[in-house]
């Protein structure tokens, strides 16, 4: 009886953490994707465009 | 009526065997929701195009008018936390979380009516004031409960919740963008319906927190945990009542600590995108700058968890010493990484993310610092009053940064050089914070509560 109680309780804790963890993970994933632009952004078109500094 | 009694503190006392690991998710449900406030900027442009739908027309609201909605919400956050903190201590976390959810959701609903009738004051009143009260109540509601459940790791516990406030924007921003895109049509840019849906979704999510939160029974302590018997100078075993704490030097020193740390962090957050583009002109464009802003958000959130957990091991005062000493040096050095000097984007980004982690860490470690100095009895209420430092920094910080930068530019400095003075002033602010932290001493015995009352 005690074992059964403990198991369901662990499942409840896992469920609670998943409930907040999944949206947070989704948000972190989206932000990471956005952050990658810092490293993936193509170099400014200095070679092909006229040499005018962006405003 | 039955529901209202369910919200009572007595009804939320945990039964024997209740796992304390259910409490942080309950707190996170609230903080992840109200953290949406930091993503309000995604509505900025759409709110200025409500009449024109795809572009702003003359009768549309201006960005400067719309910007006040967020500022108002942050000011009200601090004021409501300060005002309702004492009530919260008596009413319990469940009632406070419920009130927070109602206010936060009502804020969205009132704003919906503001959008469909094009009445800006309804957004100021709805999202700014009613929603702002929800922010303040929600922010402080789980703090003392978490500290009571985790007397062995108070920094970790409050860090987990306050990390949620940092992470809330990461959910709120893409959610709002996706909802607006799905509701958009030729006559409506989808903002109003997005407010309605977000208000409802957040209410449901926050109810999970309301139903899950529990306060520990009197005398409860973690299994196998023994309270430290060796007295530690800056960790009291006594309690100080909120009104008494308000009159102590320690409260105001911590107020300065929080205010300087937040103001300095805002120095980067406020100018992140233009700063990196202007310091590395021709090397970093708007798209890459957007990525930089995202990276700052991640470190802001991670720092809340990391630094508050670290503070459990090294102590609160040393943690803030790190923020202020390392922060001041890094702020001073940051302009040197620009194109005019070292020209290192990697160095600039690395320093910035460390600074932002310490900005977040400052928010998350302060509740445990308050608990160490004033005890757990009124810690939420004291924390609430301390958050007025955030309100002040939230308004004064951007004004200070923008004013100084404009002043420099008007007096002949180029845009990149203008940042140097701003960042050096931020370093100076952190020195002030360092001194305030240095002056923190244990609270005098005369301020302690009588033990029977505590």
Q: Count CA atoms closer than 13 A to A9's CA, side-chain side.
A: 14
Q: Does A1 touch chain B (CB under 8 A)?
A: no
Question: In this complex, do B291 and A28 lie within 8 Å of one another by their Cβ atoms?
Answer: no
- Find residue B235's DSSP bridge partners: B232
Say which residue, A39 or B358, is predicted with more confidence. Answer: B358
Q: What is the mean pLDDT of residues B76-99?
A: 92
Chain B residues within 8 A of A9 when measuring between CB atoms: 17, 19
Question: At which residue do the structure tokens 């900025």 appear?
Answer: B44
Q: Does B234 reside within a domain?
A: no
Average pLDDT on B315-327 reads: 97
pLDDT at B411 over 60: yes
Is B76's pLDDT higher than 50?
yes
Q: Is the pLDDT of residue B323 over 70?
A: yes
**What is the three-class DSSP state of B105?**
helix
Query: Looking at residue B44, what is its pLDDT?
Result: 84
A54, pLDDT greater than 90: no
Stretch B15-38: mean pLDDT: 93
How far is CA B211 from each of CA A5, B16, B159, B177, B383, rounded to the nearest angstrom? 20, 17, 21, 29, 24
B184 has a pLDDT exceeding 70: yes
Residues B26 and B172 in one domain: yes
Cβ of residue A27 closer than 8 Å to a chain B Cβ: yes
Whole-angstrom distance, CA of residue B245 vs CA of residue B233 = 18
- pLDDT in the model for residue A3: 39
Partner A, chain B 319-358, Cβ-Cβ below 8 Å: 349
pLDDT at A43 over 90: no
Secondary structure of chain A: what % helix, strand, coil (to 5)?
70, 0, 30
Is there a domain that residue B236 lies in? no
Averaged pLDDT, B263-286 = 85
> A24 vs B174: CB contact, 8 Å cut-off?
no
- Residues of chain B in contact with residue A31, where contact means CB-CB under 8 angstroms, are 170, 294, 297-298
* Whether pLDDT at B376 is above 70: yes
Residue B229 falls inside a structural domain: no
pLDDT for residue A49 is more than 90: no
Q: Please indicate, yes or no, whether residues B380 and B433 belong to a single structural domain of this protein.
A: yes
B299 and B202 in one domain?
Answer: no
Domain of residue B97, residue span: 2-212
User: Hey, are the CB atoms on B170 and A27 less than 8 Å from each other?
Assistant: yes
pLDDT reading at A2 higher than 60: no
The pair of structure tokens assigned to B304 is 């809340």
Residues 6+ apart with CB under 8 A from B31: B138, B139, B142, B161, B162, B163, B164, B165, B167, B168
Q: What is the pLDDT of residue B384?
A: 93
Q: Least CB-CB distance to A24: which of B167, B212, B297?
A: B167
A42-51, B99-108, B338-347 — which is least confidently predicted? A42-51
What is the pLDDT averaged over residues B228-240?
Answer: 77
Same domain, B201 and B248: no
Enumerate the residues of chain B whose CB falls inside 8 A of the CB of residue A53.
281-282
Q: Is A14 on the interface with B (CB under 8 A)?
A: no
Within 13 Å, how many C-alpha atoms sit on residue B319's CB side?
29
Chain A interface includes B297 (CB < 8 A): yes
Percent of chain A scored above 90 by pLDDT? Answer: 33
Least confident residue range of A39-43, B53-57, B113-117: A39-43
Determine which of B291, B350, B352 to mutate to test the interface with A (most A C-beta atoms within 10 Å): B291
Please tell me whether residues B252 and B182 are part of one structural domain: no
Q: What is the pLDDT of residue B4?
A: 78
Same domain as B87, residue B32: yes
Looking at the structure of chain B, the number of domains it has is: 2
Q: Give the percent of chain B with pLDDT over 90.
A: 61
Whether residue B261 is contained in a domain is answered as yes
- Specify the pLDDT at position B268: 79
Whether the CB of A47 is below 8 Å from some CB of chain B: the reply is no
A31 touching chain B per CB within 8 A: yes
Residue B423 located in a structural domain: yes
Q: Quick one: pLDDT band at residue B2, thresholds 50, 70, 90?
A: low
Do B181 and B298 have their domain in common?
no
Please tell me the predicted confidence (pLDDT) of residue B23. Answer: 94
pLDDT at residue number B21? 93
E strand intervals along B161-255: none
CATH number at residue B75: 1.20.1250.20
Q: Is B22 on the interface with A (CB under 8 A)?
A: yes
Q: What is the pLDDT of residue A8?
A: 46
> B263 with B203, same domain?
no
């Amino acid at each position: 009886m005690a074992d059964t109680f403990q198991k369901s309780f662990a499942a409840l804790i896992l469920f609670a953490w998943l409930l907040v963890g999944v949206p947070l993970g989704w948000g972190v994933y989206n932000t990471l994707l956005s952050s990658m632009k810092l490293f993936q952004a193509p170099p400014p078109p200095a070679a092909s465009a006229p040499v005018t500094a962006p405003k | 009526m039955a529901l209202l009694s369910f919200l009572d503190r007595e009804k939320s006392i945990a039964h024997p065997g209740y796992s304390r690991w259910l409490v942080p998710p309950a707190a996170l449900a609230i903080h992840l929701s109200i953290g949406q406030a930091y993503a309000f900027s995604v509505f900025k442009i759409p709110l200025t195009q409500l009449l024109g739908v795809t572009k702003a027309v003359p009768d549309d609201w201006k960005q400067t008018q719309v910007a006040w909605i967020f500022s108002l919400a942050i000011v009200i956050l601090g004021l409501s936390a300060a005002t309702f903190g004492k009530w919260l201590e008596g009413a319990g976390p469940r009632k406070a979380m419920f009130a927070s959810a109602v206010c936060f959701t009502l804020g969205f609903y009132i704003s919906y009516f503001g959008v469909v009738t094009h009445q800006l004051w309804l957004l100021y009143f709805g999202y700014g004031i009613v929603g702002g009260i929800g922010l303040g109540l929600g922010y402080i509601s789980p703090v003392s409960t978490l500290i009571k459940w985790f007397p062995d790791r108070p920094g970790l516990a409050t860090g987990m919740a306050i990390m949620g406030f940092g992470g809330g924007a990461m959910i709120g921003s893409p959610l709002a963008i996706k909802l607006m895109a799905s509701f958009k049509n030729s006559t409506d840019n989808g903002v109003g319906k997005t407010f309605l849906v977000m208000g409802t979704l957040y209410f449901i999510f926050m109810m999970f927190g309301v139903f899950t939160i529990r306060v520990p029974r009197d005398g409860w302590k973690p299994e196998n945990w023994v309270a430290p018997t060796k007295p530690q100078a800056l960790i009291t075993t006594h309690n100080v009542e909120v009104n008494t704490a308000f009159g102590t030097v320690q409260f105001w020193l911590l107020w300065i600590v929080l205010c300087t740390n937040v103001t300095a962090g805002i120095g980067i957050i406020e100018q992140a995108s233009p700063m990196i583009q202007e310091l590395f002109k021709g090397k970093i464009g708007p798209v890459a700058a957007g990525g930089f802003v995202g990276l700052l958000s991640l470190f802001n959130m991670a720092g809340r968890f990391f630094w508050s957990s670290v503070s459990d091991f090294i102590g609160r005062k040393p943690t803030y010493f790190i923020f202020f000493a390392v922060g001041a040096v890094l702020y001073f050095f940051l302009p040197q990484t620009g194109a005019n000097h070292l020209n290192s984007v990697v160095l600039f980004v690395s320093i910035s993310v460390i600074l932002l982690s310490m900005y977040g860490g400052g928010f998350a470690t302060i509740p445990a610092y308050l608990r160490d100095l004033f005890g757990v009895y009124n810690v939420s209420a004291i924390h609430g009053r301390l958050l007025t430092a955030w309100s002040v920094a939230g308004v004064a910080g951007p004004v200070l940064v923008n004013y100084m930068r404009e002043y420099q530019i008007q007096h002949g400095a180029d845009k990149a050089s203008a940042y140097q003075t701003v960042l050096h002033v931020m370093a100076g602010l952190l020195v002030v914070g360092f001194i305030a932290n240095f002056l923190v001493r244990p609270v005098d015995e005369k301020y302690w509560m009588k033990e029977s009352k505590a």
